[in-house]
Structure 1
């Protein structure tokens, strides 16, 4: 006789109870997991979402000394908000350029001309967002270089990028990247200013032999040599200052600005101090006298 084995859970009622308990346990576990995932997603979205609600309200200082822990946290949040401006300008520029290039505005109903659509990016940007035509053009021109610099780890403000836009328009994107990196090498990333970039551009000749497809690092090395031996734009003859002297004055003025932790020192200010030193400091007087005697021989 074949032996039969009972493979059940017991009686029918006990089996149902156990099965239902397992289902409820699994459902609770699934619900808890989904809830945790949803919470993490919500936290991530909130952390990434910019907005005024993340910026602390202005309050009076806690004191005159070191910042408190709360003040440091408030400062960090506010600095993050300010830095958004640096990223936002070229993101806006790229967005405007994409809309303009694809004429994506062509079926957007005109805000002040019922029944019509926008025909230009400038008209759309002005009517919809109050962005003037000149501003729209500058944003569209600046974003490629700003994006390229960001890819290299530089968070360049709009004013700095704008100084290099004419250079990139003439010689290509890599030329702008190269000159920016030269400024970083000379002064440090935290001391690059629009004025210093403008001074570097002035040292470049008008007939640079650059190709847009050249590597940015190769262009950097080439421009370093050009700047080192640059002949600045000639001054009016009435100044009587040789180009080589003017070039060295520009460089010494930059070194002076670094020593004083200033962005730039105008030549007229340097000249004023030189004249005062010539009058007040016998060593300066003797140095000038010696040079003039040597020149007279």
Structure 2
């Protein structure tokens, strides 16, 4: 039996160049497989991220009875957080919808969509498109488009705002600008608390704005809120009359008689009383009269603010 017949060796040895080619093919295949694996992982991550961002009932836990009467369990806390996200999504959905409708309307993005009832033509206006394509009435569509920008800004500032509230301050946005409308909301929220803002209070505040109100369009929201508050407080104060009420005049005369008696004089002219009062008011060493006047003016200011709050509802 010869070696030739049974060839117990490893076979013919490859030439160096052939071995290098083989290794290159193996490396290339391995790299391709690695890239495919990475691409698959990235694709799966993208799909998962998109699914996570999508709203849906499947993300909201099913209703179940409490685990107990005490503090929430870890599982209940998680369920609570998931439900809060759903509630927040609902609060934000209306102005997201409004922005989408406004974008569609402004860009006339419906213009090559066949009309549902007249397929031979396309939609001409958002008022045609919204009711037939999305079941949104013309009135609701207009309100959502008018208010979404206000809702977006207020939500960014942390306010939980609804369409009914925003509807009351849209006229301010139309008359002035977006910041002015937001400022009215901020003013009411600061006066009553963010959780006490109502459509009625916003409506009453807007009604109180004077017709000749002037606002600087370059001012920020907080500055505008302070400006509007100052205007409303001033509007609620009674007009200051130069004429002295008769009751005050009589009281001054009676007091002047007492002073005349104390000084053993027949009478004290009213002009002299006025002069001495002004001197006492301006006396830097004795602020007694000044403090009395200040207290009275503070009270008048507080009464005016109370009246303004009452008018707001």
Name the CA distance, whole Å, in 2 between partners of 1:253 and 1:212.
27
Match of 1:139 among 141, 144, 147: 144
Cα distance in 1 for residues equivalent to 2:161 and 2:232: 22
- 2-side partners of 1:119 and 1:28: how far apart? 52
1:30 aligns with 2:35: yes
> Quick one: distance in 2 between partners of 1:252 and 1:68?
44
| 69-78 or 124-133: bigger deviation | 69-78
**Residue 23 of structure 2 corresponds to which residue in structure 1?**
18
Q: Report the 3-state secondary structure (helix = DSSP H, G, I; strand = E; otherwise coil) of the residue aligned with 2:34.
A: helix
**Contact persistence 1:178–1:217 (CA under 8 A):** yes
CA displacement at 1:76 relative to structure 2: 1.9
Q: Could you say if the C-alpha distance between residues 42 and 101 of structure 1 is closer, same or farther in structure 2, counting changes exceeding 3 Å?
A: closer
Give the alignment's Cα RMSD to 1 decimal: 3.4
CA distance in 2, matches of 1:61, 1:98: 44
Q: Is the 8 A contact 1:173 1:212 kept in 2?
A: no
2:123 counterpart residue number? 118
Distance in 1 between the 2:304 and 2:193 partners?
24
- Cα deviation, residue 165, structure 1: 0.9
Out of 46, 55, 73, which is 1:50 matched to?
55
Distance in 1 between residues matched to 2:227 and 2:115, nearest whole Å: 50
5+ residue gaps in structure 2?
A: 1-13, 238-301
TM norm structure 2: 0.64
Q: Is the 8 A contact 1:125 1:136 kept in 2?
A: yes
Deviates more, 1:213-222 or 1:75-84: 213-222
CA distance in 1, matches of 2:52, 2:175: 41
Aligned 8 A contact 1:183 1:196 in 2: yes
In the TM superposition, structure 1's runs of 4+ consecutive aligned residues that sit over 6 Å from their partners are: none
- Aligned residues of 2:112 and 2:122 also touching (Cα < 8 A): yes
C-alpha spacing 1:32/1:117, structure 2 compared with 1 (3 Å)? closer
Whole-Å separation in 1 of the counterparts to 2:183 and 2:130: 32
The offset of 1:89, in angstroms, is 1.2
Instruction: Give the length in aligned residue pairs.
Output: 239
Q: Report the counterpart of residue 114 of structure 2 in structure 1.
A: 109
Q: Alpha-carbon deviations, 1:133-157, whole Å to 9, x = none?
A: 2111111110122233345454532
The CA deviation string for residues 62-95 of structure 1, in whole angstroms up to 9 with x for no partner, is 3343333222222222221222223221122122
Q: Distance in 1 between matches of 2:178 and 2:38?
A: 49
* 1:248 corresponds to which of 306, 310, 313: 306
Task: Name the counterpart of 2:176.
Answer: 171
Q: Deviations over 1:5-58 (max 9, x none)?
A: xxxx97355434433443343334323332332232222212111122222223
TM norm structure 1: 0.67
Q: Which sections of structure 1, spanning at least 5 residues, go unmatched?
A: 1-8, 233-243, 255-265, 267-297
Work out which of the residue numbers 158, 161, 165 in structure 2 matches 1:156. Answer: 161
Compared with structure 1, are the counterparts of its residues 230 and 68 closer, same or farther at alpha carbon in structure 2 (3 Å cutoff)? farther
Greater CA deviation, 176-185 or 161-170? 176-185
Decide whether the 8 Å contact of 1:86 with 1:158 is kept in 2: no
User: What is the match of residue 269 of structure 2?
Assistant: none
Q: In structure 2, how many angstroms separate the alpha carbons of the residues matched to 1:70 and 1:248?
A: 47
Conserved in 1, the CA contact under 8 Å of 2:236 and 2:308? no
| Alignment correspondent of 2:232 | 227
Deviation at 1:213, TM superposition (A): 4.4
The answer to whether the 8 A contact 2:233-2:304 is kept is no
Aligned to 1:128: 133
SS of residue paired to 1:140: helix
Q: Is the alpha carbon distance of 1:174 and 1:123 closer, same or farther for their aligned partners in structure 2, counting shifts above 3 Å?
A: same
